[in-house]
């Protein structure tokens, strides 16, 4: 099982960025997926989650209205479209596999290595 | 929204000691949706315990978890050098919440 994130970059406040996560080694379309971030020196913060078929999306209040999670089950990929980026969005962004099909996953049983987003002028 | 408070923030121990980490929820929650993760410096988090007391695949028996309605405990018996890390609890409700973490240091 492998999750590989990409798309992280240094970007100016107010700009947009799209992160991707490519999954392999499991039946991607059977499981919900999550994005979790970690600001430098800080703890883990859940960002967004999506159900197995994309019908249910949920977001942390801190990103609601700015970020959009999506998935392409045909391509085994997960995305996070981040708009109106702020300095406090600076973090390592992890994609994580949920243990069930619904967004409210009991646990996240596999994590990618993370991709770094730095929002700075 | 459920708030998870982990204590202590830092635990200073020696190899061979036992560690007891606590995660307190702001209201009664189902242990089915409670999990613990380990994160070492420069690495991604790793699932340790789920359903409050079940070990994830490959996790040594020295890791165990217990649960009540609001209090969840992760115990590491006989600390090994590789166990010194940061530990997070996590609850899934209408949104997903992490505790602030406990650093187990030498």
**pLDDT confidence of A103, banded at 50, 70, 90?**
confident
CA distance A37 to A44: 6
Tell me the backbone φ, ψ of residue B44, rounded to 5 degrees. Answer: -75, 160
pLDDT digits (tens, 9 = 90+) for A45-101: 999 999 999 999 999 999 999 999 999 999 999 999 999 999 999 999 999 999 999
- The A residues from 9 to 28 touching B (CB cutoff 8 Å) are none
Residue A38: closest CA among chain B residues belongs to which residue? B44
**Are the beta carbons of A109 and B47 separated by less than 8 Å?**
yes
Q: What is the pLDDT of residue B1?
A: 86
Mean pLDDT of A11-18: 98
pLDDT digits (tens, 9 = 90+) for A24-34: 999 999 999 99
Residue with structure tokens 């999670």?
Answer: A69
% of chain B residues with pLDDT over 70: 99
Of A45, A104, A112, the CB nearest to B44: A112
Mean pLDDT of chain B: 95
């Amino acid at each position: 099982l492998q999750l590989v994130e990409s798309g992280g970059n240094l970007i100016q406040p107010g700009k947009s960025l799209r992160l991707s996560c490519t999954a392999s080694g499991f039946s991607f379309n059977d499981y919900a997926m999550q994005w979790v971030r970690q600001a430098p020196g800080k703890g883990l913060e859940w960002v967004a989650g999506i159900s197995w078929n994309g019908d249910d999306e949920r977001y942390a209040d801190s990103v609601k209205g700015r970020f959009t999670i999506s998935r392409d089950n045909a391509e085994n990929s997960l995305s996070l479209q981040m708009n109106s980026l702020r300095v406090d969005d600076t973090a390592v962004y992890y994609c994580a596999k949920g243990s069930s099909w619904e967004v409210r996953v009991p646990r996240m049983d596999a994590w990618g290595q993370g991709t770094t987003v730095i929002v700075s002028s | 929204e459920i708030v998870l408070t982990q204590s202590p923030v830092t635990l200073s121990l020696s190899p061979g000691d036992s560690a007891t980490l606590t995660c307190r929820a702001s209201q009664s929650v189902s242990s089915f949706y409670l999990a613990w993760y380990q994160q070492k410096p420069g690495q991604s988090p790793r699932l340790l315990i789920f359903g409050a007391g079940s070990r994830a695949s490959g996790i040594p028996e020295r890791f165990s978890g217990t649960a009540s309605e609001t209090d969840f405990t992760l115990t590491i018996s006989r600390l090994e050098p590789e166990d010194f890390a940061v530990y997070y609890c996590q609850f899934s409700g209408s949104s997903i919440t992490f505790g602030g973490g406990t650093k187990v240091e030498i």
